[in-house]
A and B are shown apart, each in its own frame.
Chain A
Amino acid sequence: MRHFSQPNPKRSAVRVTGAFPAPGKYSLTYCDQCGVCAEMCPTQAIHEVDDHYEIDPDLCTGCLICVDECPQGAMFTHPDEEKPIKCVSCGDCVAYCPRQAILDQDGEVAWAGVEAKKKAQTAGR
């Protein structure tokens, strides 16, 4: 929503996959900023910026080698995008996951709603 100015989960850099009816759970695919994509990129289009890696769209040729090489499977493509979609650590998923299923590196979120979310989660278990 923030990056493409429209609601469209198919452009999201976080994916949720359900396994139903059994065993009845969701799994998440997301980028842990390991940097393998940057190492593998033949045009050095992926750079470390602050605490994460970003694609430089001017250098990216859309070869999609990074998609194949990502150890997490978290480099995504979309039919309308020539270049891959990569997590830029914007933190929205952390802030707005109501179940705290996604946490930042320190396991903490500097954000007011976190206490209520923690309580709702522990009460639910």
Chain B
Amino acid sequence: MTQDAKLFGYGGRILRVDLSKAAVRVEPTPEKMAREYLGGRGFVAKILWDELPPGVEPFSAENKVVVASGPMSGLFLPSSGKIEMGTKSPATGLYGEGNMGGHLAGELKFAGYDAIIIEGLAPKPCYIMIDDDKVEIRDAAKYWGKGAFETEKMIKGDLGEDFKVATIGPAGENLVVYAVVSHDFGRQVGRTGVGAVLGSKKVKAIAVRGSRGFELADSEGAYKKGKEMFDACFALPGFEDWTPYGTAGVTDWINDIGAFPTRNFQTGYFEKHKNINGAMLKDRILILDKGCTACPIPCGKYSRFNYKGRLIYVEGPEYETIALMGGNLALESIEEVAYANYVADELGLDTISAGSVIGFAIECLEKGVLKPADVGRDVKWGDTDGVAWLLERIARREGIGDILAQGVKAAAAKFGKGSEKFAMHVKGLEISGYESRYAPAMMLAYMTADIGGHHNRAWAITYDAAVGQEKIEGKAWKVIELQHVRPLFDTLGLCRFPWVELGFELHHYADMFALVTGWHYSWEDLLRVSERIWNLTRCFNRREKPDFGRADDLPPPRWMEEPLPSGAGKGHLMSRENAEKMLDEYYALRGWDGNGLPTPAKLKELGLDFVLEKVKLGA
């Protein structure tokens, strides 16, 4: 590969770590890829498409983990700390990707790298140590088996406090398909089991220290623009109102509109919600607002509390954990939710999927699908110690935990007896914190998200509330718009919260992008890139699952068959007919065929013709 022209705003290099050969190689970041896919999520999607053999087994040597920062990560502008990680997901068998904040994204670029491609399988536990140009695959025997935070602390102690460290916990080591990658004592790449794929490769951690910095096309302009962006952010009303609570602040509102997942999504209203909301978090356990790189609105709520005589420190709980481990398991105090949060974090489990899986297991016990003897003990709603006990069994894959470690879809297939009806997932990924029977746009967002049941691609629930929660028609365009805007932040290496939560104006980002890279993309040009990536991940899913299409976009049976029994959405459901109607509208607006696949014309328009060599589209 020849060296392209200097890329401003980029580290300029990609690090390839081949664990099977214990070899490390540095490659230039291709300018063409940077211009067409920008970074972050775009790099993850393009590299996985190009480099994974079709149909690759997620835990095999041929699967890869791509870690990527974006061209705007680590910059002097509001909330520039997001790093992206992706792989073929062991949870869904489809495109897998997640992102996290903290300080790793900038640090990687300060070391001179835009991305790390991790491939092969290590023969024994190892960690990847990156200190500017010095890169080593080191022995991790002493860290293996340790908790995610414990490992981070040990590695920082061994290498130096200024290393930024990402780790996996026991759940990742034991290939739990919803194992996370953890960083900065409370930030996680939560979804799709990236931690499990690292575990399969025996990579316990990635430690990075960078001293270089990187050049910008117009550094003086970018500095001025950065100041303008911070000033604009401080002046927004949400700056004062939102920051004190972080994401936990939406708990009451979500419950009020009938969308708070309760007892494995049996309903959308939790009667004890005031015990576990943002105000409770702030009043009872919060000790520190913890922010990521350059963040003026730190959503990280660092907590300390006493749980049955143990002093516990944990970052959170944030809203999704409050939803899936609070309402969904009917835990009744903020301390209990925070305790479950802590146990899951240290084990390296995704609190969303784990909360859903345990809710499913409790409902199986409640309905007699499982007997206490099958589980090893009875666990009921609100049973915090039972929840913690199950989290341990899952992470260690002991007893029932071995089945639950494979997610609700696989567990329901194993348990049978009608449990498939209340296994709450889309495409095999457990649904995050929004009960959507009375929020059709949000439901469509879940149905069509490329990784499965996750809200981050399109948090459309505010649109449902704005235009009417009953309304089915006319919502698809908004879901599509959000599916381009929100993942664009993941592509640029930024956090979307200044925009989502404070209403920060989007044009700032295009202005800054031009100053950073020297490339004059309008906001619409950037959205076009996001649409390109969206269509590429859709094709990736089809390539990995040859019959992938419309049927994979349907919501779980509970949402189509059981009316909500309580709360603001009482009586509502999403009929199969309405779900199909929403999909029709969505596919048409996207320029996709009736089976939900991009047409050749659409692919050509987006510069994606090359996918046709590797995938058969159509019905």
Contacts and interface: CB of A to CB of B under 8 A. Distances in A.
Contact of A113 (B153, B215, B234): B234
A123 B244 contact: yes
B289 A99 contact: yes
B211 A10 contact: yes
Contacts of B304: 22, 24
A3 to B, nearest CB: 10
B404 interface: no
Given A7-B214, A98-B296, A120 B231 contact: no
Given A6-B219, A20-B153, A112-B235, A124 B244 contact: yes
Given A1-B76, A6-B216, A116-B240, A25 B110 contact: no
Contacts of B291: 98
Interface in A80-122: 80, 95-96, 98-99, 112-113, 116-117, 119-120
Main secondary structure of the interface of A (DSSP, over half): loop
Contact of A116 (B75, B227, B239, B244): B239
Contact of B240 (A9, A11, A21, A120): A120
Contacts of A8: 110, 211-214
Interface in A21-75: 21-26
Contacts of B287: 24-25
B484 interface: no
A5 B219 contact: yes
B297 interface: yes
B223 interface: yes
Contact of A80 (B153, B211, B219, B313): B211
B589 to A, nearest CB: 39
B185 A124 contact: no
Given A24-B287, A24-B304, A98 B297 contact: yes
B243 A124 contact: yes
Given A96-B227, A116-B235, A117-B234, A21 B185 contact: yes
A31 B305 CA distance: 35
Interface in B205-253: 210-216, 219-220, 222-223, 226-227, 230-231, 234-235, 239-241, 243-244
B96 interface: no
B223 A2 contact: yes
Contacts of A113: 230-231, 234-235
Interface-central residue, B234, B241, B304, by most chain A CB under 10 Å: B234
Interface size class of B (residues with CB under 8 A): 35 or more
A36 B134 CA distance: 36
Contacts of B223: 1-2, 5
A8 B162 CA distance: 13
B202 to A, nearest CB: 25
Nearest to B185: A20
Nearest to A99: B289
B465 interface: no
A23 to B, nearest CB: 8
B219 A22 contact: no
B427 interface: no
Nearest to B238: A120
Contacts of B234: 98, 113, 116-117
Given A7-B106, A9-B110, A24-B313, A124 B282 contact: yes
Interface in B278-324: 282, 286-289, 291, 295-298, 302, 304, 311, 313-314
A119 B236 CA distance: 12
A96 B230 contact: yes
Nearest to B73: A7
B313 A22 contact: yes
Given A21-B185, A113-B231, A124 B214 contact: no
Nearest to B152: A20
Nearest to B314: A21
Contacts of A7: 74-76, 106, 213-214, 216
Given A25-B288, A124-B243, A124-B244, A6 B215 contact: yes
A1 B313 CA distance: 34
A92 to B, nearest CB: 8
Nearest to A4: B213
B289 A9 contact: no
Given A5-B220, A80-B211, A120-B244, 7 more contacts: A6-B216, A7-B76, A20-B185, A98-B297, A98-B298, A113-B230, A120-B243
7 contacts: A1-B223, A6-B213, A7-B213, A24-B287, A99-B298, A116-B234, A120-B239
Instruction: Give the top 8 A-B pairs by smallest Cβ distance, nearest first.
Output: A8-B213, A98-B296, A113-B234, A20-B185, A124-B244, A5-B219, A6-B213, A21-B313
